[in-house]
Amino acid sequence: MRIELTNDIALCHAIRRAVFIEEQGIADADEWDDLDGQAIHLLAWQDGEAVGTARILLDGATGKIGRVCVLPEGRGTGLGAQLIRAAVDVLRSRPGIVRAKLGAQVQAIGFYEKLGFVTVGDLYDDAGIPHRDMVREL
């Protein structure tokens, strides 16, 4: 398993389409925005296949980790946790970034808590799925 920075946004999009649109039923209009061009993208690889992705957006002193997903064949392998740790490492390497933030689907809160994130703010709906914001100081 390996995680790498990538400029292959089309491959990231293919993974996101499979997980968010096809599997979770999120509408195209909710998944695609105009932020991919300014984002830092990560790909997770397993056995020579890209099976996960995440994107990072920088906003002042905060790095927002988003669009985190892993295809079914990569789940349960620790790859998701590696992906989040890699995103945190990317943020740590950026001057002036002092915290990581993400919007967690409610069923994934425990996963992110194990990686040092804490919930902040109220429950909200994102594309029909309940979410809570989570932060981690770097």
Q: What is the pLDDT of residues 66-125, one digit of tens each?
A: 999 999 999 999 999 999 999 999 999 999 999 999 999 999 999 999 999 999 999 999
What CATH number is attached to the domain comprising 104? 3.40.630.30
**Tens of pLDDT, residues 30-67:** 999 999 999 999 999 999 999 999 999 999 999 999 99
Q: What's the number of domains the chain is made of?
A: 1
Among 66, 77, 78, 55, residue whose Cα is nearest residue 5? 55
Residue pLDDT, tens place only, 25-38: 999 999 999 999 99
Would you state the structure tokens that stand for residue 119, as one six-digit string? Answer: 């919930």
In angstroms, the CA 23 to CA 89 distance is 29
Rg (C-alpha) for the chain, rounded Å, is 14
Domain that holds residue 7: 2-137
pTM score above 0.85 = yes
CB atoms within 10 A of CB 26: 18
Q: What tokens appear for 126 in the block? A: 């994102």
